[in-house]
Chain A
Amino acid sequence: MSWRAGGIRPWIVQRLSAVAMAIILCAFTLSVAMSAPENFQDWQDFIGGSIWNTAIILFWVSLFVHAWVGIRDVIMDYIHHDGLRFTILAFFAFFLISMTIWMLKIMILAVNL
């Protein structure tokens, strides 16, 4: 953790999001193992059902902040040239936002009506 740039808030965010993702990931793995979706319809019902559709979006909220704080820390520790650091940070900001839009598109289209 980079204290130079840090503060206590990203430190707490990183840990809370980690716990949230660990819980959701374990539950997801158990749920997939138990319901064992084996064809398109089952898979579509599983991901499009309200429980996992919501849980995946909640997981993503944690993933988004966790990835951002983590990537930011790594970049600040290893990239010391200001311009390059800014460029790479900007790339990852753009990347994570694009991925979020893509994920939302997938989840919304998958919703069972």
Chain B
Amino acid sequence: MRPPHQKGRPKYLDLLRIKLPITGIVSIGHRASGVFLVLSIPVWLYLLDMSLSSEQGYRTAQEISNGFLFTLMAIVAFWSLMHHFFAGIRFLLLDLDVAIEKEAALKAARLVFILEGISMVFVIGWLL
């Protein structure tokens, strides 16, 4: 249940005016990336199926995966995966009471973005 509303407290429901702390961005990003990853499953299965079907299929899958649209989608998908992975590890650690105090929590949230940034440099280098 919602706590009783305190008088005089600004209550913004305007998404553009709500300023989420970095921990909140990690959290909503975890949800959004999870949903995107689930919705992207057919693309990966389609390519995997094609790449294993025959020599010809393997080459076609290679051509598709070198295409611009696919590369763009793959970057978003890998970014989602990296965010989901590192943010997920942070949430697992929170369950173990690791980095649960405010300062440490903010540091850990920043670390999530740093690690996903570093891994994305490798992913983009590998994709392009």
Contacts and interface: CB of A to CB of B under 8 A. Distances in A.
B92 A40 contact: no
Contacts of B31: 70, 74
B95 interface: yes
Contacts of B54: 40
Q: Size class of A's contact patch?
A: 20 to 34
A44 B38 contact: no
Contact of B52 (A15, A47, A92, A96): A47
Contacts of A39: 58
A17 to B, nearest CB: 11
B115 interface: no
B38 A22 contact: no
Nearest to B46: A102
Contacts of B41: 99
A65 interface: no
> Most chain-A Cβ atoms within 10 A of its Cβ — which of B38, B48, B85, B88?
B38
B34 interface: yes
Interface in B77-100: 85, 88-89, 92, 95
Interface of A: 15, 18-19, 22, 25, 39-40, 43-44, 47-48, 67, 70-71, 74, 92, 96, 99, 102-103, 105-106, 109-110
20 contacts: A18-B88, A22-B88, A25-B85, A40-B51, A40-B54, A40-B59, A43-B52, A43-B58, A44-B52, A48-B52, A67-B34, A67-B38, A70-B31, A71-B34, A71-B35, A92-B38, A99-B42, A103-B45, A106-B45, A106-B48
